[in-house]
Homo-oligomer: A and B are copies of this chain.
Amino acid sequence: MSAPTLEGNAVIGQGGGPTAVINQSLVGVIEGLIAAPEIGSIFGARHGVRGMIEDSFTELQALEQHTLDRLANTPSAGLGSTRDKPDAEYCQNIYKSLRGKNVRYFFYIGGNDSSDTCRLVNEAAKEGGYELRCFHVPKTVDNDLMENDHTPGFPSAARYVALQHMGDSLDNASIPGIKINIVMGRHAGFLTGAAAIARTHEDDGPHLVYVPERAFDLDTFASDVEKVYSRLGRCQITVSEGVQDKDGTAITTKFFQGETDAHGNVQLSGTGALGDQLSAFLKEKLTPKGGKAPRVRADTLGYAQRCWPDASRVDQREAREAGRFAARCALTGQSDGSVAIKRDSTDPYRSHLERVELTSVAAKTRHLPEDHINSEGNHMTDAFVQWLRPLVDELPRFERI
């Protein structure tokens, strides 16, 4: 059976926080479409859905292979991204804009909010009786998409977090003290957990890891730190920016009144507040009566986590392939879907791609599996480390004297 041919133009957009490999997926989609005779123009939407409603597009089909290759290796969203979270009306406008440009193929690279946008645009087109093939290409450093073993963007961010912790643990051993590292991840602790693969020796940092999946209690935290500090004379701690108390209140809001975005989310990244407040808290709690306060420092890892220009090679390859796969699905007549990475084996590492329903990904959040967090809720398990290791390429090996 040959695929039904649908002639028209294509649009590609990028949404949400950028990653080190989101342009790999963009290039993958372009590569997947470029030779298809039924595709007219390939439009890139500037700043995602915003460019679609503001009619801001750039043509991509004439880009040469050497340009595509260099674009693929460029971190952050080459087309520009947006934090807009379209509702049904906004998506109606996207649909009308696309229809007006004779677009029959719509690809949106992003996280779970972006897959929901894809779903809504798809519905609007269906209601309008207009055939529009809508595909979501996964991307998020948070790794919180359902159906996926892991998502493009996460392995590169995980590699950055691991390398940062490796260097920082040696720094902490060299001038002993208490060191807090705040890692991105609002609801899911995958990226924070990545710090755990920095360890080689039993006494390497991180000594404690706190993820949003477990209730964070300030007193338990202080007591955990004290135990490590009295044993080793130092303590490196990894804390997710999204840690919450048992009632689901973000710990950072106990200290800090930040701004909220269009999604109603409190600002967590781009501020050092949580780290500084946890520092001050520990300093006060752990100063013996009449004694000297311990040396406590905090780093908030920041946007380098998602755009550090040295991506994981596994991540680069999979992100590119995910884009190509979405193009192939659309060209072979499938009407909509999201692309998911499925793992076949860990050693040797092998994965494949599958088309999954938009509704099974859209606006949902995946969390760390139970067996990836230790029973005390203050570190990761070996199962997590084994799962993560093949994704981050080789890590350097260091010497001790």
Contacts and interface: CB of A to CB of B under 8 A. Distances in A.
Given A164-B308, A271-B298, A298-B271, A398 B174 contact: no
Contacts of A32: none
A74 B17 contact: no
Contacts of A20: 167
A401 B308 contact: no
A37 B210 CA distance: 53
Contacts of A83: 175
Nearest to A283: B259
B303 A70 contact: no
B273 A398 contact: no
A306 interface: yes
Interface string A175-205: 1000100000000000000000000000000
A17 B172 CA distance: 10
Contact of A81 (B75, B174, B272): B174
Contacts of A97: none
A163 B308 contact: yes
A139 to B, nearest CB: 12
Contact of A309 (B70, B73, B163): B163
A300 interface: yes
B302 A299 contact: yes
Nearest to A68: B399
A322 interface: no
Contacts of A298: 270-272
Interface string A45-74: 000000000000010100100010011011
